[in-house]
Structure 1
């Protein structure tokens, strides 16, 4: 354990920020998380997550809640266009939902009460954790022994402030505002395709959907198309059969400068979204067109799954990687997607966040030093390249594409 408790600010209050904050709180440090969202809770959009080994290791060590978190899929299968089985692979994978992980982390970090899990008692040796909303970071300054963080309150017109910390950790995602301040030349780029996403409640699914997708990790590949599906926890993180969700992700190509892409990312109120089209904001006629397209190109089970979805959303697939993770003589660190935003084919975003949190823990305990940063960047470069290779092979037959997203 660190010999002297530190005053630490974490910028970004999603999974990476909470994981890192929780490990440091368990070491006795005082943690303040600044989240720019003005709402009291972030929105998951109903996203499913593959629960990889790094994430499993982190939660077993640091998240002490008396409930199960994941659903196991023991069979991986790929369908032909006619719905027959192309291949099967008996490989167990664990699935979870963003919202279940978030609420369990919040319960352990700052005692947020929810219907997802109980709030564990704080141990005496733990540090203090506080979570601030509506704090948009506008500047960071190296003061020698400390770092000054400047911010504004996004809920107030003229409320600005600054606070000092011994260590600052930027966990503010692939469009990291901190990374932009320090490395403005690092640009997040659009990969030329998007992910349509949605869920269907298991109890509302037909016999065909249950037979095809329940307890199976299922894929279909076609020209410029990949769609996949797996079970995730349902409302309030329920793992009960019938209450679980059949989660699907459908990758479709949209050239950056095409009218179709601009139309897709313009919501029903006329606002353009650069990376995510939220639930309930997709133009009705575009969703109708997509469901008709599903009937034309997907196996019957996948087509029915898409058409049964009530609240879809869309994510632009992007690439970004920082050339470094450390600044101000290691008093400011990037973690999670702020270091590298992977394409979702790798299923590694949450794993990277957990991996970084555990590395930071080792660094603060004095178990590792410079090699931590080398490991972080090697991991980031490897997974970034792997995600690009998988995505480009799937969507473009290995054709490289590199188009900017502003």
Structure 2
């Protein structure tokens, strides 16, 4: 698809960060495109993932260009520090980074895209709603739709348009299970690391999501619930501990409703632990408190099994520095993610010219990174920025493909390397831990 001065109908499959990052720039273009997000979840708002996000340069650029509310979206980390088992700082590097949360980015994305005005932006909107900028934003919202409970089943070119067929998945809906269609000019596939659209359109074996041999236990604690010694380690610092076969990290992020006020922030932690795929313990870890087995993620909300969590808290006492052990033990609603790989397509794959030039892949649907890279959200922002440039004619679709595939392949390989070093290689007494960390 070449750049055009026409107003287009665009569908975006996937309503999480990747879809929202792509949708808002397209909505704001001079052509006044009409953009519909189709999200398979059956609820109007996606549930808080409970996760911190290291916001690299691409996320910062997206927020600076497309967030009209001017919301303070970060807690600044001024240094990376590395602890020993006793909790002493053994290495420190001055390094400034943005720390934010999935919850804040999602609500900023919804507010900017379709005017879903949560408490995250209420005060900012009150100040700007009667301004010319407020009028422009309302005009864009009139061309935006966020349709939930839409599980896309097929894409087909019909009369130079794309026919998107979906099934209604809304709980309690009288139409649940029924099919519907949407006719559009272009489709953006941003449906995550288990992307059905990538499998449908590329049909490549690399699209299979593969378990990497370990999981991430995750959680948050209100900063004021921590002892002063722990606050000193985590607030405005990105702190790590690594011993044989395990790694944990922690940093402060915005709290409820995106608050960055001292005392209201959260300390986010991620703890990697090895479990062979065929082990009984791995099955237990991904089985919730009601006995339901999950494939990749055990969500927030107190779903982790009581015995699994008791065992992991005991391990925290035995293995971790006291500040990290305190952080783990004070977490009320931990969750678990199985670490997986989704290999990027090879350079040259037509990921921007699928479906006769009427569809593109981006974000996690293109490649799934291990979280050591801290680059998954940055990939979504980078790809969305490239997509806007392709629609504007600033770059060709071939250049879009080169750019997003180079980013995907580079960071996907780097994630495998970092994960292997973290979890499976023997620790060298001569290694410098911080030199191994990813930088975006």
**2:46 is matched with which residue: 17, 42, 49?**
42
In 2, the alpha carbon distance for the partners of 1:390 and 1:52 equals: 17
In 1, the alpha carbon distance for the partners of 2:23 and 2:4 equals: 15
Query: Per the alignment, in what secondary structure is the counterpart of residue 106 of structure 1?
Result: helix
Q: For residues 318-356 of structure 1, what are the alpha-carbon distances to aligned partners after superposition, in whole Å with 9 as ceiling and x for unaligned? A: 000342423113211111100011000111111111111
Structure 2: gaps spanning 5 or more residues: 428-440
The question of whether the paired residues in 1 share the 8 Å contact of 2:344 and 2:412 is answered with: no
Q: For residues 75-113 of structure 1, what are the alpha-carbon distances to aligned partners after superposition, in whole Å with 9 as ceiling and x for unaligned? A: 110001111111000111110011111111111111112
Query: Per the alignment, in what secondary structure is the counterpart of residue 90 of structure 1?
Result: strand
Q: For residues 209-266 of structure 1, what are the alpha-carbon distances to aligned partners after superposition, in whole Å with 9 as ceiling and x for unaligned? A: 1121111110000011100000000000000001000100000001111111011111
Aligned partner of 2:402 in structure 1 is 374
Aligned partner of 1:180 in structure 2 is 199
Aligned partner of 1:387 in structure 2 is 415
In 1, the alpha carbon distance for the partners of 2:231 and 2:21 equals: 34
Q: CA deviation at 1:128?
A: 1.1
In 1, the alpha carbon distance for the partners of 2:135 and 2:374 equals: 32
In 2, the alpha carbon distance for the partners of 1:151 and 1:110 equals: 21
Matches within 5 A, 1:1-400: 2-27=4-29, 28-118=32-122, 119=125, 121-123=134-136, 126=140, 128-143=143-158, 145-155=160-170, 156-182=175-201, 183=203, 185=205, 186-279=207-300, 280-323=302-345, 324=349, 325-326=351-352, 327-369=354-396, 370-397=398-425
Q: 1:79 to 1:398 in 2, by over 3 A?
A: closer
Q: TM-score, normalised by structure 2?
A: 0.88
In 1, the alpha carbon distance for the partners of 2:357 and 2:379 equals: 19
In 2, the alpha carbon distance for the partners of 1:307 and 1:243 equals: 19
Higher deviation after alignment, 35-44 or 129-138: 35-44
In 1, the alpha carbon distance for the partners of 2:424 and 2:356 equals: 42
Greater fraction of residues in helix: 2
Structure 1: gaps spanning 5 or more residues: 400-406
Q: For residues 172-221 of structure 1, what are the alpha-carbon distances to aligned partners after superposition, in whole Å with 9 as ceiling and x for unaligned? A: 10001211222263210000000000011011111121121111110000
Aligned partner of 1:404 in structure 2 is none
Q: For residues 141-183 of structure 1, what are the alpha-carbon distances to aligned partners after superposition, in whole Å with 9 as ceiling and x for unaligned? A: 1235221111000124431111111100011100012112222
Query: Per the alignment, in what secondary structure is the counterpart of residue 86 of structure 2?
Result: coil
Query: Per the alignment, in what secondary structure is the counterpart of residue 388 of structure 1?
Result: helix
In 1, the alpha carbon distance for the partners of 2:98 and 2:355 equals: 38
In 2, the alpha carbon distance for the partners of 1:307 and 1:122 equals: 48
Aligned partner of 1:402 in structure 2 is none
Q: For residues 264-320 of structure 1, what are the alpha-carbon distances to aligned partners after superposition, in whole Å with 9 as ceiling and x for unaligned? A: 111111111111001211111110110001000001111111001111000010000
The question of whether the paired residues in 1 share the 8 Å contact of 2:344 and 2:409 is answered with: no
Q: 1:79 to 1:39 in 2, by over 3 A?
A: same
The question of whether the paired residues in 1 share the 8 Å contact of 2:226 and 2:326 is answered with: no
Q: 1:145 to 1:398 in 2, by over 3 A?
A: farther
Q: CA deviation at 1:44?
A: 2.4
In 1, the alpha carbon distance for the partners of 2:71 and 2:59 equals: 16
Q: For residues 56-78 of structure 1, what are the alpha-carbon distances to aligned partners after superposition, in whole Å with 9 as ceiling and x for unaligned? A: 01111111113211011101100
The question of whether the paired residues in 2 share the 8 Å contact of 1:392 and 1:398 is answered with: no
The question of whether the paired residues in 2 share the 8 Å contact of 1:389 and 1:398 is answered with: no
Q: CA deviation at 1:122?
A: 4.5
In 2, the alpha carbon distance for the partners of 1:100 and 1:80 equals: 32
Equivalenced residues, count: 399
Q: For residues 4-24 of structure 1, what are the alpha-carbon distances to aligned partners after superposition, in whole Å with 9 as ceiling and x for unaligned? A: 111000000011101110010
Q: CA deviation at 1:383?
A: 0.4
